[in-house]
Amino acid sequence: MQIIKRRKVFFLSLLLFSVLCLLSSYSYYLLITNRSPYILKLVTGTVDFLMKGQSISNYNINLNISPEKGVINVESNINVKFLKDRRYIIFLLNDGLKVNSIKYGKAVSHYRIWLINLLLLPEKIKKDDDLSINIKYEGNLRPLGFSDGYIKEKEFILRNEDIWYPLDFQGLFTLNVNGRVPVSITPALPGSIINKLTGDGKGKRFSWRPERPVTGFALMGGYFNKLAKSVNGITYTLYSPVYHNEDLEKTIDNIILCHSFFKGQFGDDGFKNLTIIITPHGYRSYNHGAGIITLSKTDFPTIAHEIAHNWWGGTVYVDLLRRKGDGGQWIAEGFAEFSSLMAIEKLHGKDAFLRELKNENFNPHEQRIIESITTFDNLMDGEDVKINNQMVYAKGAYVLIMLREIMGEEKFMKAMKNFFSEYNYKIVNSNDFQWIVERIMGNSFSWYFDPWIRGTERLDFEITDLNSIERGGTFVTTAKVVNKSKINIYAEIDVMAITENGKEIQRVFMDENPATVVFNTKSKIKEIIADPFLKWADMERENNFVRH
Ligand SMILES: [Zn+2]
> pLDDT tens digits, residue range 469-524?
998 889 999 999 999 998 888 899 999 999 988 999 999 999 889 999 999 999 99
Answer whether residue 154 shows pLDDT above 60. yes
Distance (Å, rounded) from C-alpha 506 to C-alpha 168?
52
Question: Which tens digit of pLDDT belongs to each residue from 300-348?
Answer: 999 999 999 999 999 998 876 666 678 889 999 999 999 999 999 999 9
Q: Please check whether the two domains, 39-317 and 328-453, share a CATH topology.
A: no
Distance (Å, rounded) from C-alpha 197 to C-alpha 393?
45
Residue 530 alpha carbon to ligand 1 centre in Å:
31
Residue 101 alpha carbon to ligand 1 centre in Å:
36
Kindly state the average pLDDT of the residues 424-429. 90
If one looks up domain 39-317 in CATH, what number appears?
2.60.40.1730
Residue 215 alpha carbon to ligand 1 centre in Å:
14
CATH 1.10.1370.30 is right for the domain spanning 328-453 = no
Residue 354 alpha carbon to ligand 1 centre in Å:
21
CATH 2.60.98 is right for the domain spanning 461-547 = no
Q: 313: which residues sit within 8 A by CB, 6+ positions away?
A: 215, 287, 289, 331, 332, 333, 335, 336
- Do 74 and 59 touch, CB atoms closer than 8 A? no
Kindly state the average pLDDT of the residues 423-433. 93
Q: Is 94 helix (H, G, I), strand (E, B) or coil?
A: coil
Residue 384 alpha carbon to ligand 1 centre in Å:
18
Residue 237 alpha carbon to ligand 1 centre in Å:
20
Residue 24 alpha carbon to ligand 1 centre in Å:
36
Q: 347: which residues sit within 8 A by CB, 6+ positions away?
A: 257, 261
Distance (Å, rounded) from C-alpha 154 to C-alpha 67?
6
Determine the pLDDT at residue 166. 45
Residue 546 alpha carbon to ligand 1 centre in Å:
38
Cis bond upstream, residue 514 (ω within 30): yes
Residue 441 alpha carbon to ligand 1 centre in Å:
29
DSSP class per residue in 262-326: HHHHH-----SEEEEEE-TT-SS-EE-SSSEEEES--SHHHHHHHHHTTTBTTTEE--SS-SS-S
Nearest to 119 by CA among 133, 129, 130, 137: 133
Question: Which tens digit of pLDDT belongs to each residue from 90-130?
Answer: 888 888 889 999 998 777 899 988 778 888 988 899 999 99
Residue 207 alpha carbon to ligand 1 centre in Å:
27
Nearest to 189 by CA among 231, 239, 154: 239
Under the phi-then-psi rule, with left for phi > 0, alpha for psi from -120 to 50, and beta for the rest, what region is 472? left
Determine the pLDDT at residue 191. 64
Residue 293 alpha carbon to ligand 1 centre in Å:
11
Residue 94 alpha carbon to ligand 1 centre in Å:
23
Mean of per-residue pLDDT scores for the chain = 87
Answer whether residue 462 shows pLDDT above 50. yes
- Amino acid in position 34: N
- Do 131 and 80 touch, CB atoms closer than 8 A? yes
Residue, of 379 and 217, whose pLDDT is higher:
217
Residue 305 alpha carbon to ligand 1 centre in Å:
6
Determine the pLDDT at residue 373. 86
252-286 in b/e form (b: 16+ CB < 10 A) is bebbbbbbebbbebbbebebebbbbbbbeebeebb
Where in the chain are the domains? 2-33, 39-317, 328-453, 461-547
Nearest to 39 by CA among 26, 20, 22: 26
Residue 399 alpha carbon to ligand 1 centre in Å:
16
Residue 511 alpha carbon to ligand 1 centre in Å:
36
User: How confident is residue 37, by pLDDT bands cut at 50, 70 and 90?
Assistant: low
Residue 152 alpha carbon to ligand 1 centre in Å:
26
Residue 52 alpha carbon to ligand 1 centre in Å:
25
Question: Which tens digit of pLDDT belongs to each residue from 66-93?
Answer: 888 888 899 999 898 888 898 988 888 8
Per residue, the 3-state secondary structure of 465-502, as one string, reads EEEEEEECCEEEEEEEEEECCCCCCCCEEEEEEEECCC
Q: What is the DSSP letter of 198?
A: P
Q: Which of 43-52, 127-136, 425-434 has the lowest mean pLDDT?
A: 43-52
Residue 333 alpha carbon to ligand 1 centre in Å:
5
Distance (Å, rounded) from C-alpha 228 to C-alpha 349?
28
Long-range contact set of residues 224-228: C-beta below 8 Å, sequence gap at least 24: 224/186, 224/188, 224/277, 226/186, 227/252
Residue, of 496 and 6, whose pLDDT is higher:
496
Determine the pLDDT at residue 35. 55
Kindly state the average pLDDT of the residues 30-43. 62
The proportion of the chain whose per-residue pLDDT surpasses 70, expressed as a percent, equals 88
User: How confident is residue 29, by pLDDT bands cut at 50, 70 and 90?
Assistant: low
Number of helical H runs and strand E runs in the chain: 13, 29
Residue 108 alpha carbon to ligand 1 centre in Å:
39
Residue 371 alpha carbon to ligand 1 centre in Å:
16
Answer whether residue 272 shows pLDDT above 90. yes
- As to burial, measured by CB atoms within 10 angstroms (0-12 exposed, 13-18 middle, 19+ buried), residue 250 is exposed
Other Cβ atoms less than 10 A from the Cβ of 322: the count is 21
Q: What are phi and psi of 183, to 5 degrees?
A: -60, -30
Residue 493 alpha carbon to ligand 1 centre in Å:
30
- Do 313 and 336 touch, CB atoms closer than 8 A? yes
Determine the pLDDT at residue 33. 55
* Cα dist from 456 to 159, 340, 382, 407, whole Å: 34, 24, 22, 22
Residue 258 alpha carbon to ligand 1 centre in Å:
15
Outline where DSSP puts E strands in 407-473. Answer: 426-427, 461-471
Q: Is 508 helix (H, G, I), strand (E, B) or coil?
A: strand
Distance (Å, rounded) from C-alpha 267 to C-alpha 436?
16
Residue 217 alpha carbon to ligand 1 centre in Å:
15
Kindly state the average pLDDT of the residues 383-398. 87
Residue 285 alpha carbon to ligand 1 centre in Å:
8
Residue 284 alpha carbon to ligand 1 centre in Å:
9
Determine the pLDDT at residue 237. 95
